[in-house]
Chains A and B, each alone.
Chain A
Amino acid sequence: MNTSLFLIIVLVSGAFAGLIHGVTNLAIVEPYLDQAIGMENQNMFASGEVDDTLEFWVEYEGYRTWQKSGQVLAGVILGVSIGSLFGIVFAMSRSSLPGRNNVKKALILAGIMWVTLYFIPFLKYPANPPTVGDAESVVLRAILYSSFIAISGIAAVGFYKVSKKFQNKKKILGLIGYVAFISLVFVIMPENPDKVTAPLNLVEGFRATSVLAVSSFWIAIAITLGILWNHFKPEREIATSN
């Protein structure tokens, strides 16, 4: 395999898909973030924690501009990060993925990774807007969320390897094993310790648009990497000799 070419197409795919993710967030998730942060401000004014002054709003506009513009940059960084993992798994599993071309193979893998690394963990620990979440519990929540993702991902790989030992229709036992195992983990793992205190329509709207935006990343990374792989064929190593 051509190492440089492989690295370049993986990183470019990740950056592009991350850019799509960041821009999609700005378009559909940002209104919910603004609404939630507006509620946080009103709560702080009501409690007397801060005063509703011109100085407050000048400072607020400053850091919100920083946060909003940072969303796209953070999208690219996260895209390159998750894209790197996707590139590793795709390169290692490409020959055994179904599909006649690399775009189809990448879409199938992205679907599997979306379910196991994002959607199932999301069902257990769904995304929350600002106003939800106690700062004191953030480390615990980070450990719970990342642990669940790691357990789900490792289990998916493990049961896939188990399924390869079976023949034909018995391969489904690997999928059944994963579903049974992750269901058990889902029940055993502790709940998010923080209560959802924000209005339900805000939280549900935020979560729905969050899922759409993350899904846009997985679709974009699969299509981009698949197209670049089809075009540049990094698995080939060409040597010339006289």
Chain B
Amino acid sequence: MSESRQITVSKKGVPIIAIIALAVIFATGLFVVGFDQGHIFSLVYGEQAFTDLYIHELTHDMRHAAGFPCH
């Protein structure tokens, strides 16, 4: 007994869910590397995060090299 299968190849636009996901990743990554001055860790550690500046120090060299204002 033979079975026939139909393969349909369609081309559609860019899924909105993919655009939203990538836009969130874009904004978050840009803020982390380019602009965070303790803001993200302050959500957990409070004011101390603005003194410790862990993300700032981690991204320090890339921040300068990529052209972002660092300090």
Contacts and interface: CB of A to CB of B under 8 A. Distances in A.
Contacts of B6: 240-242
Contact of B22 (A10, A29, A118, A130): A10
B19 to A, nearest CB: 6
Interface string B8-21: 11111111011101
Contact of B66 (A33, A68, A127): A127
A87 B26 CA distance: 10
Interface residues of A, number: 61
B22 A84 contact: yes
Given A3-B15, A66-B58, A80 B29 contact: yes
B7 interface: yes
B33 to A, nearest CB: 4
B59 A74 contact: yes
B58 A67 contact: yes
Given A127-B66, A130-B70, A133-B69, A74 B61 contact: yes
Please classify the interface of chain A as helix (H, G, I), strand (E, B), loop, or mixed, using the class held by over half of its residues.
Answer: helix
Given A6-B14, A78-B33, A82-B26, A71 B9 contact: no
A54 to B, nearest CB: 22
Interface of B: 3-15, 17-19, 21-23, 25-30, 32-35, 37, 57-71
A67 B57 contact: yes
Contact of A29 (B37, B65, B71): B65
Contacts of A239: 7-8, 10
B60 A241 contact: no
A58 to B, nearest CB: 16
A186 interface: no
Given A3-B17, A81-B29, 9 more contacts: A7-B18, A66-B58, A77-B29, A78-B30, A91-B18, A129-B64, A133-B70, A138-B37, A238-B9
B11 to A, nearest CB: 5
A1 B33 contact: no
Given A133-B70, A138-B71, A239-B8, A78 B65 contact: no
A79 to B, nearest CB: 8
Nearest to A137: B69
Contact of A70 (B13, B58, B66, B68): B58
A127 B61 CA distance: 12
11 contacts: A1-B13, A1-B14, A21-B66, A29-B65, A33-B61, A67-B60, A77-B59, A80-B29, A88-B19, A240-B5, A241-B6
